[in-house]
Amino acid sequence: MPVRKIVTYGHPVLEKVAEPVAEIDDEILDLAHDMVLTMHAAPGIGLAAPQVNASRRVITVDLSVGEDPDELIILVNPEFIEAEGEEVNEEGCLSVPGIHENVKRPARVRLRGLDLKGKERVIEATGQLARVFCHEIDHINGRLFIEKLSPLKKTLVKKKLKKELAAG
């Protein structure tokens, strides 16, 4: 399967805690492969499986958006080992079209997960890369970045989103 459809705000899969992957079988390999294509086509720098309506703990990250194969990271069952510091920067989401808001995230994270061969990888990230990991791991825990905004901001953003999504 090639590029998959990205689901948007309001779709129930985005609010579900995604299922851990017990075995990296063909279904997971297909999913991960399609996610990379979908992320690059969007274009985006990160994608989580729930965004293509697959409630599994798989994320893809590529700050180079396909320019540099070395920057592509695919992680199965990712989890944080450590997070420290604080950094505020603008964030957007392929599932939350038209919204870009400042969000506070850890400045540095360490996380682990499996690659597609089932081998454990430990990754340290700072700045933008740390932010993308936080954003994508939030997705597999059923959380969108707009939930981190102040109540007033959230209300404004949700109003704007309704209009945006109604306009198609």
Give the binding site for Zn ion (CB under 5 A).
93
Task: Give Cβ neighbours of residue 105 (< 8 Å, ≥ 6 apart).
Answer: 86, 87, 88, 89, 91, 130, 131, 134, 135
Helix (H) or strand (E) holding 30: helix 26-41
Structure tokens at 156: 């404004």
Which residue's CB is nearer to Zn ion, number 31 or number 93?
93
86 is catalytic: no
| Least distance to Zn ion, CB of residue 109, Å | 16
Q: How many residues does the chain have?
A: 168
| Least distance to Zn ion, CB of residue 115, Å | 22
Which residue's CB is nearer to Zn ion, number 77 or number 95?
95
CA distance linking residue 129 with residue 108, whole number of Å: 9
| Least distance to Zn ion, CB of residue 23, Å | 26
For Zn ion, the nearest residue by Cβ is 93
Asked if residue 76 lies in contact with residue 136, where contact means CB atoms within 8 angstroms, the answer is: no
Three-class DSSP category at 164: helix
Which residue's CB is nearer to Zn ion, number 35 or number 93?
93
Helix (H) or strand (E) holding 28: helix 26-41
CA distance linking residue 146 with residue 148, whole number of Å: 5
The catalytically annotated residue of 120, 136, 147, 164 is 136
| Least distance to Zn ion, CB of residue 14, Å | 9
Which residue's CB is nearer to Zn ion, number 61 or number 93?
93
- Catalytic (active-site) positions: 136
